[in-house]
Amino acid sequence: MKRPVFIPLFLAFLVLFILVIIPDRWIESLIPKNRISQAATELNPVMFQGKYIQQKMLEDGRYLPIYGSSELARLDRFHPSNYFQEVHEGFTPFLVGRGGTESLIHFLNFSEHMDQLKDKKIVFVLSPQWFNPQGADESHFVPNYSSLQGYDFAFNTQVDPEVKKRAIKRLLTYSSVKNDPILSTLYKAEITNDPWIKREASALRPAAVVYRHLLAKKDLYYSLAGWFSRHRDLTPKVRNKSWDQLAQDADQYGAKRATNNHFYISNSQYNKIKGFLPSLKNKDMNRSYGESKEYGDFQLVLDVLKQSGAKPLFISVPVNGHYYDYTGFPKEGRAAYYSRIKQQIEADGFQVADFSGHEYDPYFMKDTIHIGWKGWVYTDRAIKEFYEGNDQNLAMVNF
């Protein structure tokens, strides 16, 4: 006898119903105690698009959050996660970010955790490449956008109303937000006086509450499931050495891995571009990072960090001067960014480790755009001085 097709469908809905009604505290009780320490270097997009793991991390004083983008995944022996693991400084870096995680994504994340950021020291690594004229495009924003954080932001009453309105106007330019009929209506109701849109938003609010709850529940299950570990170069060779010795070690380490090009980048990265290198010659003439929508997005980050009472250190990473010269990217267009971003950060009273003077420093960059090797040594020193509150020593690291 043929089994009715509705039985598997019914069972599927039954299982889904059970998963939804299970109390959150039951799921939390099943999440392993070491999940936070595991997540510190996993760079799990599910984690930083959710909130449970980050919430627990921010509650734990042992962790120093480091926010950034794709450079965080370059886990060589000088990387902060590996260096501080070996030298035992009393804190564990916790990495949040991946390729395309730019200012607006970080803003939503910070808005999610405002209560936990008060007096919290954090590190934020800036990439000049974010600051192209149009800022974050669809290809970078959409994969990193979190629906949970987007809905939580709609219900957020802590963020300064003017800051919230500026953020909403920017968020509504992206497809993942404007094509969500419920969320986009809630957002539009915040920035308009149209009574029809406000009534529509009120009618949709219960559905938004339910959907938001389902997203939060999904985040708990993902936190329970975990992720995969990344390869790390943990080595005792960084212990008991001065910063000058570490910089020399990084020079030697980089020199062994960048032997086939004059850009001082790793052989493997050079091999990826050498086939079409002639087409890159002078392709970036007349470009600049001095004007960009990203500055407005970054100001949102500064605003929410200032309102929350966080204590950030910003790392201003340089470009690879040798490569940028080859592509014809004007020095003036790079200098405009370095100057503007430093002024913007300091205008809000925050600290910045400015490494813009290292554009031509061999092995400071691992490839054409990512910090590595010697650059990580400077970053490690800046983080140590910042964490210990040595502001005078921090200022010296920049040069």
Chain segment 75-120, per-residue pLDDT in tens:
999 999 999 999 888 899 999 999 999 999 999 999 999 999 999 9
Token pair in block for residue 137? 């495009």
pTM above 0.95, yes or no: no
The pLDDT of residue 313: 98
Overall average pLDDT of the 160-177 stretch: 98
Question: Is residue 135 a contact partner of residue 102, using CB atoms and an 8 Å limit?
Answer: yes
DSSP 263: S
Give the full edge-to-edge strand order of the sheet including 351-354: 92-96, 63-67, 121-126, 311-316, 351-354
Report helix, strand or coil for 88. Answer: coil
**For the chain, what percent of residues have pLDDT higher than 70?**
91
Average pLDDT over residues 287-310: 98
pLDDT tens for 19-73 read 555 666 666 766 778 889 999 999 888 888 999 999 999 999 999 999 999 999 9
- Give CA angle at 207 (202, 210), nearest 5°: 130
356 — pLDDT class (breaks 50, 70, 90): very high
pLDDT band at 224 (very low <50, low <70, confident <90, very high): confident
Q: How confident is the model at residue 5 (pLDDT cuts 50, 70, 90)?
A: low
Residue 118 to residue 309: CA distance in whole angstroms: 4
Determine the pLDDT at residue 32.
78
Q: Predicted confidence band at 398 (pLDDT cuts at 50, 70, 90)?
A: low
> How much is the pLDDT for 1?
47
What's the pLDDT score for residue 226? 72
Sign of CA dihedral 39, 37, 374, 380: positive
- pLDDT score of 222: 85
Q: What's the start-to-end Cα distance of the chain, in Å? A: 80
Residue-averaged pLDDT of the chain: 91
Which whole number is the average pLDDT over 246-262? 96
Distance CA 168, CA 31 (A): 34
How long, in residues, is the chain?
A: 399
CA dist., res. 281 & res. 17, Å (int)? 59
How many whole angstroms separate alpha carbon 313 and alpha carbon 386?
A: 7
Question: What is the percent of the chain with per-residue pLDDT over 90, rounded to a whole number?
Answer: 79
Token digits of residue 292 = 């960009």
